[in-house]
Amino acid sequence: MLTDRIEGKWIDVFADTFRLCGVKPGDAVAILSETHSRRINVELAELALLRLGARPFHLVLPTPPQAAPVPVRSTGSSVAIGGLEPVVCALAAATMVADLTVEGLMHSKEFPTIRAGGTRVLYISNEHPEVLERLKADPAMKTRIQRGRALMQQAKTLRVKSAAGTDLRVDMTDAMVGGNVGWVDEPGQLASWPGGICSCFPRQGAVNGTLVLDEGDINLTFKRYLAKPVRLVIENDFVTNIEGTGLDADLMREYFDAWQDPNAYGASHVGWGMNHAARWESLTLYDKGDVNGTEQRAFAGNFLYSTGANPRAGRHTLGHYDLPVRRCDIWLDDLQVAAAGRLLGDLV
């Protein structure tokens, strides 16, 4: 277990990130947290914003009662606000929101209203500050992610294959394309820190094929490397069969089934990692309570497949898997952007 102690170097890293977000003296910045938030990150955010001359204010919400049938992890869909209108109004009126809720506002029901007036939101992932320090925002990454986003926007089809047996096709028509660089500097933006992902939410019925999670790939909901392959059959967005033997396949079946919600089986977002500082193997070096796994979503060249909430397809659920898959070939139409898990061309 890492020590939770305020360190000057961590205030520096938070301040550097807020500078990239364009925080200026006098800016009203809301620090949104809940009673289960990682307190050291809440305190570091306040100290860093004060160092920049901003005017931070805290909104602290009680973490709601557990309503789901199973533990909720890594959804990107915080329910802490619970539709409380005065909170939504305060966040929407702020210049920026430092989101330190446990799960983050990305898929929350309140987020569209919060961002409508131009408020930008930075989700500071629920990681120990040592992780955030290693993966501090890198301005050089922005250009590469913008290139990847542009390629996604132009593509009609995303195809993914691997030697393990993955053969997946995504119709990119009308997909909601994004690119997370790890900071927000434009009105209405949302990003998470650590950053480094090109991704999209496909429209309804756009995802078909087979996804094979091989030994060493990661189920981030469980913060677990797979020991045996699991094969997911996907038809019109939805996982229709989970093939495989052993603990990994059994765990996936049980957690999917526990939600008793068809949307939990649906495609959420797909994309690939762009962050060369992020490490596939680092999950082995931390206690589970010290990390949220955002690093493993972002390591360069991984294909990231997620199930659960998809605003473009009109689906909402708290059931969620983030599945970084290694060693994939990725194409956008006829342009190959990754070979066996290695980025190519202008994305490197």
| Rounded-to-integer distance, Cα 263 and Cα 311, Å | 12
Specify the higher pLDDT residue, 252 or 72: 252
**Helix, strand, coil percentages for the chain (3-state, nearest 5):** 25, 30, 45
Other Cβ atoms within 10 Å of 213 Cβ, number: 26
Encoded tokens for 275: 């962050």
pLDDT digits (tens, 9 = 90+) for 18-29: 999 999 999 999
What distances in angstroms separate CA 328 from CA 151, 170, 186, 214, 336, one per listed residue?
18, 15, 33, 11, 11
Residue 223 sits at the vertex; the CA angle it makes with 323 and 304, to the nearest 5 degrees, is 15
Task: Report pLDDT for 75.
Answer: 86
Average pLDDT of the segment spanning 166-185: 97
Task: Report pLDDT for 198.
Answer: 98
Instruction: Determine the number of helices (DSSP H) and then strands (DSSP E) in the chain.
Output: 8, 20
Encoded tokens for 137: 């925002």
DSSP state of 67: -
Average pLDDT of the segment spanning 60-80: 91
For 250-307, the DSSP string reads HHHHHHHHHT--GGGGBEEEEEEE-BTT--SGGGGGS-GGG--SHHHHHBTTPEEEEE
Would the pLDDT of 1 be above 70? no
Would the pLDDT of 73 be above 90? no
* pLDDT level of residue 161 (50, 70, 90 thresholds): very high
Task: Report pLDDT for 277.
Answer: 97
Cβ-proximal residues to 114 (8 Å cutoff; 6+ apart), any chain: 88, 91, 92, 97, 105, 121
Residue 72 sits at the vertex; the CA angle it makes with 210 and 309, to the nearest 5 degrees, is 50
pLDDT digits (tens, 9 = 90+) for 207-228: 999 999 999 999 999 999 999 9
- For the chain, give the percent of residues with pLDDT over 70: 100
Q: Of all helices (H) and strands (E), which one includes residue 11?
A: helix 8-20
Residues in a beta bridge with 180: 197
Nearest to 275 by CA among 132, 97, 160: 132
Nearest to 32 by CA among 118, 116, 135, 119: 119
Cβ-proximal residues to 234 (8 Å cutoff; 6+ apart), any chain: 168, 207, 208, 209, 210, 211, 240, 267
Q: Tell me which fold the domain 8-134 belongs to.
A: Rossmann fold (3.40.50)
8 A C-beta contact, residue 304 and residue 218: no
Against a cut of 0.75, is the pTM above it? yes
| Rounded-to-integer distance, Cα 179 and Cα 197, Å | 6
The domain segmentation of the chain, as residue ranges, is: 8-134, 140-179+195-347
| Cis bond upstream, residue 194 (ω within 30) | yes
Task: Report pLDDT for 2.
Answer: 86
Q: Using N-to-C axis directions, what is the helix angle for 39-51 and 8-20, rounded to 10°?
A: 70
* Residue whose structure tokens are 């989101």: 99
CA 275 from chain center: how many Å? 13
Per the prediction, the chain carries an average pLDDT of 96
Three-state SS for 223?
coil
Encoded tokens for 72: 């909720």
pLDDT digits (tens, 9 = 90+) for 37-49: 999 999 999 999 9
Average pLDDT of the segment spanning 143-147: 97
* pLDDT level of residue 107 (50, 70, 90 thresholds): confident
